[in-house]
Amino acid sequence: MTELTTNTQTLLLNDGHRIPQVGFGAMRVPKEGILDALNAGYRLLDTATIYKNEQDVGDAIRQSGIPREQLFVVTKLWNTDHKRVEAALDESLKKLGLEYVDLYLIHWPWSEIEGTDHEVYTDWTFVDTYKALQKVYKTTGKIRSLGVSNFTIAQLEQLSSDKDIDVVPAVNQIEAHPLLTQPKLMAYLESKNILAQAYSPLGGSGNFLFKYKEVTDMASRYGVTPAQLLISWGVQRRTVVIPRSATRSRIESNIRTFTLKDADFEALNTLSDTYGVIRNNDTWRFTPGEE
């Protein structure tokens, strides 16, 4: 019988802080689901301005009674706020009811003009945004760790090549699952001591990875759910994994992980050799094959 344990492991960030390895993705999850996650043992809560539920996350934290220092709260700067980073952060903190966030991410490397169809500024880029956030990070105490999300190797290189940037992102939050393993990006992040945080670990909307016989058969052999298999695979890759669910039973089971046998781990690593690479989230933003 496979031994499942509630995952309370943490990983060390490049700034010295530690981050829980299995977190809870709060997108479109109401306060009751977030509270269920906290009661189940999750200590990392991942939200964003665009999710429009930072208030619910804050309410759940207060209702849980869990001391603030035991929690790791992540939120994100939305595309249209790139020219007003501290004001946007302050709005998030007010909704969350917190004095600081443990990790603040640039949600996408796009500085978009409010009210347009993704039209970007010609006088401002994500490099300017990161420099503005770096100043807030260094001077205010409102951000414990600074990171990015959905950044490619080329975009991370743009940050590192700027002479005014000396804070290496602690995290790059990316879509990651067995059909989007992104080996080049993962190797690059490891070389720069940037931790990968995996969203959509079950394949995103509809949990599409559950339809593959290789996944369901392997889960059956271990006596675990397909979700537990995929989350455990992500943990074994040494990524931070943030599954999302609004169903209490799934919330409770998703934090329980195990170690895959080497052959099974490798079989999931190479699943895209059979079925191809599938990016589920905002594919229009990426050039095919871009990492």
Binding-site residues for substrate: 107
Q: Using CA of residue 67, residue 254, residue 240, residue 150, what is the dihedral sign?
A: negative
The CA distance from 4 to 224, in Å, is 8
The CA distance from 196 to 198, in Å, is 6
Q: Using CA of residue 97, residue 57, residue 78, residue 171, what is the dihedral sign?
A: positive
Say how many C-beta atoms besides its own lie within 10 A of residue 5's C-beta.
Answer: 11
Residue from 51, 104, 188, 199 carrying the catalytic annotation = 51
- The neighbouring-strand residues paired with 149 are 173
Q: Which residue has the tokens 């409770």?
A: 252
Tell me if residue 132 falls in helix, strand or coil. helix
The CA distance from 129 to 105, in Å, is 11
Q: Which residues have a Cβ under 8 Å from the Cβ of 90 and sit 6 or more positions away?
A: 142
Secondary structure letter of residue 6 according to DSSP: E
Detail the residues annotated as belonging to a binding site.
Answer: 107
The answer to whether residue 51 is catalytic is: yes
Say how many C-beta atoms besides its own lie within 10 A of residue 275's C-beta.
Answer: 12
Per-residue burial over 157-187, b = 16 or more CB atoms within 10 Å of its CB, e = otherwise: ebbeeeeeeebebbbbbbbbbbbbbbeebbe
- List residues with catalytic annotation: 51
